[in-house]
Structure 1
Amino acid sequence: MLKRAPSYRTLELELLEWQERELFEYFVVVSLKKKPSRNTYLPEVSYQFPKLDRPTKQMREAEERLKAIPQFCFPDAKDWLPVSEYTSETFSFMLTGEDGSRRFGYCRRLLPSGKGPRLPEVYCVISRLGCFGLFSKVLDEVERRRGISAALVYPFMRSLMESPFPAPGKTIKVKTFLPGAGNEVLELRRPMDSRLEHVDFECLFTCLSVRQLIRIFASLLLERRVIFVADKLSTLSSCSHAVVALLYPFSWQHTFIPVLPASMIDIVCCPTPFLVGLLSSSLPKLKELPVEEALMVNLGSDRFIRQMDDEDTLLPRKLQAALEQALERKNELISQDSDSDSDDECNTLNGLVSEVFIRFFVETVGHYSLFLTQSEKGERAFQREAFRKSVASKSIRRFLEVFMESQMFAGFIQDRELRKCRAKGLFEQRVEQYLEELPDTEQSGMNKFLRGLGNKMKFLHKKN
């Protein structure tokens, strides 16, 4: 009997799906148009490349996505009036298809050149590739060209679409022409570590204390409802993507809208788990809505607007203390390295933070592979109760009782049950190292003595 394909999203599957594709699917410019007889504005697509001209199922799905894009480019359209000055802003959003596939929208909102009060416009690139750094560089070039003439943007995007999809660690070169500068070559490099190429953890530590971050992490781990509130689109999108990345090797399975348009705010009344971001201008409306139990976080003040009051008790106590210790040591390491190049510093920060949270999962579920049994037909099955009872720590067992009921855990295990010879990811590598460290007696009893993450910093210095 054949097992059905996984119904859960996993990071590894998404990374495989990204291969063999174009660098981006389409590029749009979104502008604000005045409503008839009203002093308010509606966002509309004013330019689109390439045009959709084939009435196929894929094209119809693409048209539906295009209809949704304007409100994500201007989630605050109702608040706008013409302005004379505006500092350009970079942010992103995510579109989820009916089949569960995800596409990223990378946006640069800027004020067109001119005199007098005017409205901003958004340049948006839609891609399956989650790589904020690469597309931020693309948007820098778009903004540079737009400052001269809008006509210079479109040939550049055509050249970019004709470029090959870069493999991890590889660089592509895009030949361009700019009046006054002549022929130019733009180099775009995709990071080697695909797992972190679409996140930057620095924003989390700019907005949140370590203790608050761990409380949010715990709430997401148990699939609660979480709402981020901030003044800037860039803050919402960066922090939302970063906090979800902390869940690796698990994947958030529920509603995820980094920047929720004001017109869709009723979503926060949904009884199912979600992670959404709201601009501060929507806060009065949010407080009026009958929102069920949720953690509301003000990213501007590092305070909880609303909480459940049990956030400090969700994780195993010793592991939570170890997480805090390791992250505080992270701050020391980064401050000691403050003279280094900023990009390298950010990469170091990403690696450090990632390894700290991976270590948490290694300590709690790293023994899962010991409880995957295989039948004569080659089918693998997970022994749930044996897995949980093998843990000596009572606090970890209590945590697992709840966490093992989550869709994240179900997706993780289902993916491992269906695997044949797929390459091992970073988590599996760290698990192997962890199991090799344990004495034979400890492997059979599992975690008889829980060692704090704060004393296991050697993992943070390993080169992947």
Structure 2
Amino acid sequence: TKNYQFEFNLIIVGSGNHIKNLFTDPNPISTQRELTTLYDYVIHILPEQEIGYFANGNGCLSSSNLNLTPQITTLTSVRFKYPLDANDEISLKYFCFPDQHDSNNNHNINSFLSSSIKSKPEYFRFTLTDMNGTRQHGYCSRFIHKGILNALCIISPYDMIDIYEKILSTATQLFISYKDEDAKLFLEEIYPHRLPNRGDTIHIHTTTVGLFTLKCEYDRRKQLIDTVTLLSLSTDTIIKIFSSILYEQKLIFISNELGPLTRLINTFICLLYPFSWPHTYIPILPALMLDIIQAPTPYIIGILRSCEHYLSRNDEFLCQDNSDIIIVDIDHDRIRSLNDYLLNESYRSTIDNLNNNTNNHHILQFQILPKIFKIELKQEISLLRKNKLNLSIDECQQRLQNVFMSIFVQSCYNYKDYLKQTFNIDNFVQSKHHTIELFLEWFTRTQIFELFIRKKIDLNIQNSFAITFDLACEKYRRTIKKQTPQQRITVKSVKRKAAIRANKQDNRL
């Protein structure tokens, strides 16, 4: 099952029965198309008011109801789109309002409306994958305008959340201030401009908000790390999630809020650098499409709390072998296997966290990360929590990025020595210290590692892939050469270095 290309056929019922493939595994070697404008298109959309099939409380499609002939009356939901000829995805409305079309979730929109006076705009993101495995990123803001829940969404092939959220924030504030025409004009005025290159800044003159500035950080990955949401989780939970991703598990993240849910999932994807997730990736799964959870291949999926009922009440799903599914409850800082979840549906009142009640399979996946790396992570995350009031967000992001990347630097710094036309896995693993040999024996045979090696071989001429990682590897190699055998990596040396670093940090503060 190493080299599969998974496709999930999803039937969407609309004004004419048609079948559309929404999700495939991303094409690992496909090149990102060049964008000559600031974004592909922007769309202002409202929740649909539907009478018919979805009003009967059947919130998700399954094989038992696909043959029904739907009778749906839909009010026009698109209020503005630019460019006008943009070919917007038919599924876009389900991602902008993932809490629609589910009888167990209707209260979410109502509760948002009832607290409209206190509610601030809600920002989140989602990912669309086409038939060829090419990903499109959706950046969305939801806000109350004229007593109605609105969504403003930007679609782009680029993963640049800081730039697009700034655009959304500006346009959203104009809408909230009842300057609808100004908001539309602003989005039209900035559209023709190109995105700034890494490290560059562009200035756009507009008639609505004056000089509008967009800056692209040199290291965009760092900007994608949500330190607040990540550090709200316990260190053990963070390490277990990271281990499960490396183990290529099926992970389902659950939360009440769209923003923290999608940002946390994206944070873990960023912390994989220089590796990437080669499987199904859906930061927010609409209620209508919950059957995707039944996919037989690894995935990372986010769902809202009110969709949680699917995990315990869908017969087709429960008939499967779901022993490889891990459920991450962001709001309650818990990570569980699906079997543990089903043993106690009211698990919110429990405090078990896969510490005492788990099977050997999950014990293996959590222990696969070497002890020396766990110690480094625990020490650095503990320091960040202790000193977060004295550190800027930028410093926290940089340190989190560095400590997670150091795992791959220390374990793979000499990978180029074994990379020719092919990669010699056995010799590479045997070149390592016994403390990380088992980890590499397993990790080098994952699709995550395989994708990295394939990219390196295919892009060898340009040498434009994972440059920061390669520079860190060379620096670490020089450090290793200066060390005596007694100075090489051991658990004791890691603890000692961490203690010294902690003392230096305390003295500096």
Q: TM-score range by the shorter chain?
A: 0.7 to 0.9
Q: Contact conserved, 1:93 with 1:237, CA < 8 A, in 2? A: yes
Indicate the residue corresponding to 2:370 in structure 1. 316
| Of 143, 154, 157, the match for 1:125 | 154
| Of 279, 296, 306, the match for 1:271 | 296
| Of 180, 187, 200, the match for 1:150 | 180
Indicate the residue corresponding to 1:410 in structure 2. 450
Which secondary structure does the structure 2 equivalent of 1:420 belong to?
Answer: coil
| Of 204, 210, 226, the match for 1:174 | 204
Indicate the residue corresponding to 2:473 in structure 1. 431
Q: Which amino acid aligns with 1:269?
A: Q
Which secondary structure does the structure 2 equivalent of 1:236 belong to?
Answer: helix
Which secondary structure does the structure 2 equivalent of 1:177 belong to?
Answer: coil
Is 2:259 the counterpart of 1:234?
Answer: yes
Matches within 5 A, 1:275-424: 275-288=300-313, 289-290=317-318, 292=322, 293-306=324-337, 309-310=362-363, 311-337=365-391, 345-373=392-420, 380-393=421-434, 395-418=435-458, 419-423=460-464
Q: Contact conserved, 1:232 with 1:279, CA < 8 A, in 2? A: yes
State the Cα distance separating 1:21 from its structure 2 match: 3.2
Indicate the residue corresponding to 1:91 in structure 2. 124
State the Cα distance separating 1:350 from its structure 2 match: 0.9
Identity, in percent, stands at 24
State the alpha-carbon separation in 2 of the partners of residues 232 and 321 from structure 1.
31
Q: Contact conserved, 2:377 with 2:404, CA < 8 A, in 1? A: yes
Q: Which amino acid aligns with 2:382?
A: E
State the Cα distance separating 1:305 from its structure 2 match: 4.0
Cα–Cα, structure 1 residues 417 and 449, in superposed 2: closer, same or farther, change >3 Å? Answer: farther
State the Cα distance separating 1:449 from its structure 2 match: 4.8
Is 2:47 the counterpart of 1:32?
Answer: yes
Cα–Cα, structure 1 residues 454 and 188, in superposed 2: closer, same or farther, change >3 Å? Answer: farther
After superposition, what is the alpha-carbon deviation per residue over 1:298-356, rounded to whole angstroms, capped at 9, x for unaligned? 1001012436541531211222122211221222343333xxxxxxx111111000000
Q: Which amino acid aligns with 2:389?
A: S
State the alpha-carbon separation in 2 of the partners of residues 105 and 135 from structure 1.
9
Q: Which amino acid aligns with 2:448?
A: M
State the alpha-carbon separation in 1 of the partners of residues 242 and 489 from structure 2.
25
Cα–Cα, structure 1 residues 126 and 199, in superposed 2: closer, same or farther, change >3 Å? Answer: farther
Q: Which amino acid aligns with 1:168?
A: R
State the alpha-carbon separation in 2 of the partners of residues 142 and 408 from structure 1.
38
Cα–Cα, structure 1 residues 448 and 332, in superposed 2: closer, same or farther, change >3 Å? Answer: closer
State the alpha-carbon separation in 2 of the partners of residues 193 and 448 from structure 1.
29
Q: Please, which runs of 5 or more residues in structure 1 have no aligned partner?
A: 1-6, 54-61, 338-344, 374-379
State the Cα distance separating 1:19 from its structure 2 match: 5.3
State the alpha-carbon separation in 1 of the partners of residues 139 and 307 from structure 2.
22
Which secondary structure does the structure 2 equivalent of 1:166 belong to?
Answer: coil
Is 2:133 the counterpart of 1:100?
Answer: yes
Which secondary structure does the structure 2 equivalent of 1:98 belong to?
Answer: coil
Report the RMSD for the aligned CA atoms in angstroms.
Answer: 2.9
State the alpha-carbon separation in 2 of the partners of residues 433 and 333 from structure 1.
27
Q: Which amino acid aligns with 1:122?
A: A
Q: Scaled by the length of structure 2, what TM-score is found?
A: 0.75
| Of 280, 286, 290, the match for 1:261 | 286
How many pairs does the alignment contain? Answer: 417
State the Cα distance separating 1:160 from its structure 2 match: 1.2
State the Cα distance separating 1:442 from its structure 2 match: 7.3
Q: Contact conserved, 1:442 with 1:448, CA < 8 A, in 2? A: no
Q: Contact conserved, 1:18 with 1:129, CA < 8 A, in 2? A: no
State the alpha-carbon separation in 1 of the partners of residues 449 and 409 from structure 2.
14
Q: Scaled by the length of structure 1, what TM-score is found?
A: 0.82
| Of 218, 228, 231, the match for 1:202 | 228
Cα–Cα, structure 1 residues 167 and 431, in superposed 2: closer, same or farther, change >3 Å? Answer: same
Is 2:95 the counterpart of 1:72?
Answer: yes
After superposition, what is the alpha-carbon deviation per residue over 1:59-86, rounded to whole angstroms, capped at 9, x for unaligned? xxx44xx112110000001313483542
Indicate the residue corresponding to 1:340 in structure 2. none
State the Cα distance separating 1:17 from its structure 2 match: 3.2
After superposition, what is the alpha-carbon deviation per residue over 1:117-158, rounded to whole angstroms, capped at 9, x for unaligned? x43010001112222222221111111211223222211111
Query: Greater shift after overlay, 123-132 or 349-358?
Result: 123-132
Cα–Cα, structure 1 residues 20 and 271, in superposed 2: closer, same or farther, change >3 Å? Answer: closer
Q: Which amino acid aligns with 1:304?
A: I
Q: Please, which runs of 5 or more residues in structure 2 have no aligned partner?
A: 1-24, 58-72, 338-353
Query: Greater shift after overlay, 230-239 or 187-196?
Result: 187-196
Indicate the residue corresponding to 1:58 in structure 2. none
Indicate the residue corresponding to 2:68 in structure 1. none
Q: Contact conserved, 1:171 with 1:189, CA < 8 A, in 2? A: yes
Which secondary structure does the structure 2 equivalent of 1:335 belong to?
Answer: helix
Cα–Cα, structure 1 residues 171 and 276, in superposed 2: closer, same or farther, change >3 Å? Answer: same
Cα–Cα, structure 1 residues 435 and 51, in superposed 2: closer, same or farther, change >3 Å? Answer: same
State the alpha-carbon separation in 2 of the partners of residues 108 and 334 from structure 1.
28
After superposition, what is the alpha-carbon deviation per residue over 1:227-254, rounded to whole angstroms, capped at 9, x for unaligned? 1000001011111100111111000000
Q: Which amino acid aligns with 2:309?
A: P
